[in-house]
Amino acid sequence: MNALSSDASKSAIHPSASGSSLVALNRWVAEVAALTRPDAIHWCDGSDEESEALIAQMQADGTLLPLNPDTHPGSWLHRSHPDDVARVEHLTFVCTSEQDDAGPNNHWMAPAEAHAKIDALFDGCMRGRTMYVIPYCMGPIDSPLSRCGVEITDSPYVVANMRLMTRMGADALARIEREGSGQAARGGPADTFVKGLHSIGELDPERRFIMHFPEELTIKSYGSGYGGNALLGKKCHALRIASYQARSEGWLAEHMLIVGIENPQGETHYVAAAFPSACGKTNLAMLIPPEGYRRDGWKVWTVGDDICWMRPGADGRLYAINPEAGYFGVAPGTSAKSNPNALETIRKDTIFTNVGLTADNQPWWEGLDNGQQPVTDWRGNPYDPAKGPAAHPNARFTVSAKQCPSWSPMAEDPQGVPISAIVFGGRRASLVPLVFEARDWTHGVLVGAAMGSETTAAATGAVGVMRRDPMAMKPFCGYNFADYFGHWLSFDTPGAKLPKIFHVNWFRKGDDGRFLWPGFGDNLRVLEWMIGRVRGEAGGVETPIGTLPAAGDLKLDGIALSEEAEARLFGFEQAGWKAEFDSIGEYLDGYGSRMPQALKAEQQRIAGLLAD
Ligand code: SAT
Ligand code: MN
């Protein structure tokens, strides 16, 4: 029997529902079916047969185009609607009862109004379509740090992506059932899971909303089939809803990669690093050490490339898991030079979205630099450089994390990995040096809160405009940033053994507009300095903005830095920082009285030092 036309296909009740244990889920699925009126309902079990049947169906209707089976076995190209290529921040809402709880950092709508608005769009929208019910777990299936959700969608492309990006199917459903009955037995509601409702609708940008109801653990997304708008486990659940949940439960849900750096002595330090979308998180997470480091025995282990959930352990350290099971990475710029591990990862069983094609049906994008040429662009038209790039600048690959050569088995550890250092970084062409260390946790929280970056193609809108993007969470924090900074500060308790906090800028430019730092593998030189600081070994120079390495404190053998590069990468520009701190002060004041006094005091302390 076709895996998609089993007995379950017409039922809003999960076939194995025993007693009342899945009652909350069954009730919600029935409600959604009554609203959206699908022709069929399919409960996803995550099996290979199910995946094969779905892929065959998508191949038949053109949703997936097969790629060259010799060079890219098991891999597919998907072309999104040309108006549906990135997250839509202006259509993304956080719907808390009180507007102030969402904060000036979010678009807000009253929950009742938001439900009414989006339910009107969902009304009857799945007629003629199959509704897929996707139980998923964010994080290792047996980890106490993990959280479950169920996404209902009418997009088989979303199902295929969720299968790569999350632990999806029967095991997740079993955990949902277990947690639901556990909570019901304690007298609470049986729905502990996050409910995500998604429809591609008409893919009309005028009929598109991404709505979050953190108080109800609910997401409703209509009108987009793309990435963070549609794969609800990712930005919607693992960041916006999870950040809200984390605040009340005492943990952190962050837009951070997690990477393990193993030194020649065999000691591994885990680093969590926040950068805005499309600023090289995947590259840093999969870094290949420079030649000399490799010879000396340095190794890099990838735990995660986008999202990090952290919680204090019994020993006072922060322990982190990657809630995701795959990578949804930016394709353009990925090459054998910039990220050989990523290229190796996506050699098979990968879904490519909005890339170009070569004559022999291989995926192609700008910056791939493998000597091949595109003949077809991301829209499916003959490639014409006069009409724009072959791949969309936000073209993506979706692939299982386990295929990465540097994948860390610790990514499956239910306890998570202990974090030695937290890194904040943005794209800053001027002022901000290569790296500096915050003097303590409060200062580090200010460093994160003050983060600025030039915008990228990961969201619609102008590219290259500097905006404040605290902790790289501007598009992803599910509540008021002032409360979020307060939550961060609250981790500094007696007995806490918190990571050191650093700021980096790989994107500093010279007068000729070119990057001054080689980046990529050479970023390990900066990570080595950080680990040296954590171990109390590496030197540095104290300045009002934190501790900077002198050029001699970093191992720079084998790279040639110009005098201008050394001066800017390791220099501290008092006048520029004074102006920056005035602007940071204004930014914090924009949050009014909810802004924690300790953070303002820290800003003022440093502004005072800069005024001297
Ligand atoms: O939000 S997406 O998942 O589309 C990618 C990103 O912006 O990081
Ligand atoms: Mn991201």
**What pLDDT is attached to residue 87?**
94
How far apart are the C-alpha atoms of 344 and 360, rounded to whole Å? Answer: 19
Q: Per-residue pLDDT for 18 more than 60?
A: no
Q: Per-residue pLDDT for 131 more than 90?
A: yes
Candidates 148, 236, 279, 308; catalytic one: 279
> Ligand 1 pocket test: which of 277, 283, 353, 399 has the largest number of ligand atoms within 8 Å of its C-beta?
277
Structure tokens at 36: 């959206």
**What pLDDT is attached to residue 2?**
45
**What pLDDT is attached to residue 14?**
82
**What pLDDT is attached to residue 526?**
98
236 in active site: no
User: What mean pLDDT is reported for the chain?
Assistant: 95
Q: Per-residue pLDDT for 145 more than 60?
A: yes
Atom of ligand 1 nearest to the CA of 235: 1
Q: Render pLDDT for 307-338 as a digit per residue (tens, 0 to 9).
A: 999 999 999 999 999 999 999 999 999 999 99
**What pLDDT is attached to residue 4?**
62
Pocket of ligand 1 (CB under 6 A): 87, 227-228, 234-235, 277, 328, 458
Atom of ligand 1 nearest to the CA of 234: 3
Predicted TM-score (pTM) of this structure: 0.96
How far apart are the C-alpha atoms of 235 and 158, rounded to whole Å? Answer: 14
Q: Render pLDDT for 67-125 as a digit per residue (tens, 0 to 9).
A: 999 999 999 999 999 999 999 999 999 999 999 999 999 999 999 999 999 999 999 99
Q: Per-residue pLDDT for 612 more than 80?
A: no
Q: Per-residue pLDDT for 31 more than 70?
A: yes
CB 114 within 8 A of CB 93: yes
Binding site, annotated residues for Mn(2+): 235, 255, 306
Binding site, annotated residues for substrate: 87, 226-228, 277, 394-396
**What pLDDT is attached to residue 464?**
81
What confidence category does residue 10 fall into, taking pLDDT thresholds of 50, 70 and 90? low
What confidence category does residue 6 fall into, taking pLDDT thresholds of 50, 70 and 90? very low
**What pLDDT is attached to residue 98?**
98
How far apart are the C-alpha atoms of 212 and 28, rounded to whole Å? Answer: 17
98-131 per-residue burial string, b: 16 or more CB within 10 A, e: under 16: eeebbbebbebbebeebbebbeebbeebbeebbb
Q: How far is CA 265 from CA 268, 293, 301, 447, in A?
A: 9, 13, 15, 31
